[in-house]
Amino acid sequence: MTPKEVMKFAKENDVKVVDLRFMDFPGLWQHFTVPISELEESSFEDGFGFDGSSIRGWQPIHASDMLVVPDAATAQIDPFFEVPTLVLIGNIVDPITREAYSRDPRNIAKKAEAYLKSTGIGDVAYFGPEAEFFIFDDIRFASENHHAFYAIDSIEGIWNSGREECPNLGYKPRHKQGYFPVPPMDKLQDLRTEMLLTLEKLGIAVEAQHHEVATAGQAEIDMRFKPLVVMGDQLVWFKYVLKNVAYKYGHTVTFMPKPLYNDNGTGMHTHCSIWKGDQPLFAGDKYAGVSQEALYAIGGILKHCNALCAFTNPTTNSYKRLVPGFEAPVNLAYSSRNRSAAIRIPMYSPSPKAKRIEFRTPDPSCNGYMAFSAMLMAMLDGIENKMDPGEPLDKDIYGLPPEELAEIPSAPGSLEEALTSLKADQEFLMKGDVFTQDVIDMWIEYKTENEVNDVKLRPHPHEFFLYFDI
């Protein structure tokens, strides 16, 4: 839409208020609301002021004034608010210089798309994330100086097979056996379908919804691929819709990568491709039907994976999932069909238009704008520098003998290790001023001070089980 079309759209839908939304640095959607009388066509250039010092990882208090400038193309009617509400996603701008704010994640994504075009390699990069999640019935947690705990519950949790439910009817997925069972084992079909239909009402194309592997309501809803910035916008809508549909029915949704011990974690396998004009750059006559450029792009992701993980797996909890020898694809190899490799080349369709690579290491705790941008920059670096990914690995990686497995590099084992890798390997991100030095330094500082150190300093409940009586 154009600004004029947005004004007409608002009138046709009897809009009373406008909700202005943007992404903070770590990756949570923020908003504030103004009456519709405050929105004019000039607002799409002038923007709306707010306090940037109150946003995590942003401005110091002595330079707090910022602007959010709404993007007319993002206009939607919120599906949950009682009062008709127009939602506009905005870009963050310095009110004095009128320059786009370097720490605005959406601005980083826009710069990544611009850099792709400037290289001449392609015109558009498509991303299709498979963001898994859990639907729980109850969650309680606390982290104090003298006690810490968490408690999760779900009608589907196999741990409730012996609970008095008056009556307990069973049909609770066993650990690692939640993939695709029909009701009554799958108790969340209608809820996931409402999530799907709500996304479609917002114009977000969905390919499928289903139960996932873990017990206790693990699920997946797959969005159809879109260009980088559009998919960044869609991913924040995706999380918002799923959380609010679940909340409406007394459930809660989490994208935390590893909320359950001894069961599958939550990943975000991400399908990536680059096109130039109407031609898919990754289709060719090499291994598994990909092009040489696709192999170079794979080489770029494998080379930079440890640094990428600082953005694609950005929480301390991410590395409870990324443990060698378990379900997550931590081994830095590529293969066709083989889901135990960090990069898979899907073989569902022989069409050149369907040819893409699937990066399986990321998880949905990430800030999509920044994660997709970092992936694109790694792929472009691989193509520009002709990075050889080596030979594919079509064996079952988990069944390899130790001496052979030891030769395969692995993703980082902790957020601290990923951040250390980012310190050492960041030049590829800074091409075209996509990620600035300020952004990378602040990301490392924020994550270290607010997450790595906070977790490192606290006793773990299991340590009492192991060590209290020593």
Angle at 111 between CA 109 and CA 116, to 5 degrees: 100
Of 51, 433, 454, 463, the active-site residue reads 51
Query: Does the annotation count 358 as an active-site position?
Result: yes
For 291, other C-beta atoms within 10 Å of its C-beta total 19
Strand partners, 294: none
State the Cα–Cα distance between residues 231 and 125, nearest whole angstrom.
10
Of 130, 156, 233, 363, the active-site residue reads 130
State the Cα–Cα distance between residues 276 and 121, nearest whole angstrom.
7
State the Cα–Cα distance between residues 188 and 178, nearest whole angstrom.
12
Of 24, 78, 233, 358, the active-site residue reads 358
Torsion, CA 296, CA 302, CA 307, CA 308, rounded to 10: 80
Of 71, 220, 222, 381, the active-site residue reads 220
> What is the end-to-end Cα distance of the chain in Å, rounded?
67
Angle at 264 between CA 313 and CA 167, to 5 degrees: 135
Torsion, CA 405, CA 411, CA 414, CA 415, rounded to 10: 180
Instruction: Single out the residue of 460, 378, 470 nearest to residue 148, CA to CA.
Output: 460
Query: Does the annotation count 427 as an active-site position?
Result: no
Of 71, 78, 113, 132, the active-site residue reads 132
Of 211, 251, 360, 363, the active-site residue reads 360
Query: Does the annotation count 137 as an active-site position?
Result: no
Three-state secondary structure string covering 109-138: HHHHHHHHHHHCCCCEEEEEEEEEEEEECE
State the Cα–Cα distance between residues 187 and 181, nearest whole angstrom.
10
3-state DSSP helix/strand/coil percent for the chain, to nearest 5? 40, 20, 40
Say if residues 135 and 246 touch (Cβ distance below 8 Å). yes
Query: Does the annotation count 269 as an active-site position?
Result: yes
State the Cα–Cα distance between residues 352 and 282, nearest whole angstrom.
8
What six digits make up the tokens of 448? 């270290």
Instruction: Single out the residue of 349, 322, 331 nearest to residue 395, CA to CA.
Output: 331
Of 98, 163, 224, 339, the active-site residue reads 339
Query: Does the annotation count 391 as an active-site position?
Result: no
Query: Does the annotation count 99 as an active-site position?
Result: no
143 Cβ contact partners less than 8 Å away, ≥ 6 residues apart: 458
Separation in Å, CA 374 to CA 239, 254, 309, 368: 21, 24, 9, 10
Helix axes 368-384, 292-312, angle to 10 degrees: 140
Query: Does the annotation count 51 as an active-site position?
Result: yes
* Length reported for the chain: 470
Q: Is 429 helix (H, G, I), strand (E, B) or coil?
A: helix
What amino acid positions are annotated as catalytic residues? Answer: 51, 130, 132, 212, 220, 269, 339, 358, 360
